[in-house]
Amino acid sequence: MQGTSDESDIRDMLAVHDAFRAELAELPDLVLAVTPGDSERTGIVGEHTLLVLSMLEAHHDGEDVLVWPLVRERAPEAVDLVAALEAQHAGGTDATHDGLYCHIMGT
């Protein structure tokens, strides 16, 4: 799909967000499926969870640096919407990270 300078192809962004949503939705079941005392599986699931969370954090950091400034520049009329999306973005990352970390660590 070839766009003009006024259009943006956001299919990659949608695919990445869909992948994160799917992965994050599966994590609680992966954690709960570990048999108590199965240290090997606990380690595998824990490492996977931390990988997903670190990738999510890097993704959000990239959007903070690359996406939001561009959206503000190209759509100044949407400044309130962008601010709300940024706040939701930051809050979602913190809540997801904190909730999963506490669940993994049993705290």
pTM equals 0.71
Instruction: Quote the CA–CA distance of 12 and 14 in Å, as a whole number.
Output: 5
Determine the Cα–Cα distance for residues 65 and 75; give it in Å rounded to an integer. 16
- Walk along the chain (107 residues) and give the pLDDT tens digit of each residue: 454 456 678 889 889 989 999 999 999 999 999 999 999 999 999 999 999 989 988 988 888 888 888 888 888 898 888 888 888 777 665 555 555 555 555 54
Question: What's the CA gap between 107 and 98, in Å, rounded?
Answer: 10
